[in-house]
Amino acid sequence: MFVSLAAEMKRRLLLVSNSTLHGSGYLDHCEQQIRDFFGAGVKRVLFVPYALHDRDAYTKTARDKFETLGYGVDSIHEASDPAEAVRNAQGIFIGGGNTFRLLKCLYDNEVVMEIRERVLKDGIPYMGSSAGTNVSTISINTTNDMPIVYPPSFAAIGLVPFNINPHYLDTDPNSTHMGETREQRIVQYLEEPDVPSVLALREGSMLLVEGKKATLLGTTKARLFTRGKPTVEYDTGSDLSFLLMDGR
């Protein structure tokens, strides 16, 4: 999905692997990154709770957390017109849960292109966590979730020209489990022709995209899978801007 040069320059994304890190509370591990990302210019964030069934409870969790950070929260599921809520948003946060359910609800409420336009055309900040990170990419083909519902397409919002696998788990050499590993499943995806690279984000890692620059943040390394090439490990602080080139 092509992104114009003008849109590239406006793009601001914070794509987090996980909402909760072991030993801490909801979004505790990325509090400072959230503050830095939304800054003082954003007063209210539009939350998208479509990935979980109990949207009221999910919204309360997000609202309680963001209020401690100094931001008000409006939930898209509370709006009479979801598309209008997106058009009026100062910033967007899409939380985790089931990626198939999330994408289906985004299509059902006709906000996939609305979100894409607000982020790429108007430059409002977009934060995703887990499933919310999955739907920011080319497609949801590299989600870890079960297909509990069937969205009209696996094509996602397309804010970046590659795929992400949140919650990436390294192969345990001591495991007796004989099923396919996460690595094997991603490699299978890359066996299909004309698919993008996959950035595997471990728990505690996140990607900050500012215009044409992408930087790995957090406390853990990320692993890049590219068709026909060896996998590469990247440390926190690495410049991953080359992933945004989209073949140009």
Q: Which residues are catalytic?
A: 130, 145, 167
CA distance 245 to 242: 6
Which one, of 211, 210, 208, 206, lies nearest residue 222 by Cα?
206
Which one, of 110, 109, 169, 158, lies nearest residue 134 by Cα?
158
CA distance 135 to 115: 11
| CB neighbour list of residue 207: distance below 8 Å, 6 or more residues apart | 13, 14, 15, 164, 199, 201, 214, 215, 216, 217, 222, 240
What are the angstrom distances between the C-alpha of 139 and each of 41, 73, 109, 134, 160?
Answer: 30, 27, 18, 7, 10
- Mapped onto helix, strand or coil, the DSSP state of residue 218 is strand
Task: Work out the angle between the directed axes of helices 99-108 and 112-120 (0-180°, nearest 10).
Answer: 90
CA distance 139 to 243: 15
Identify the bridge partners of residue 223 per DSSP, sorted by sequence position.
200, 233
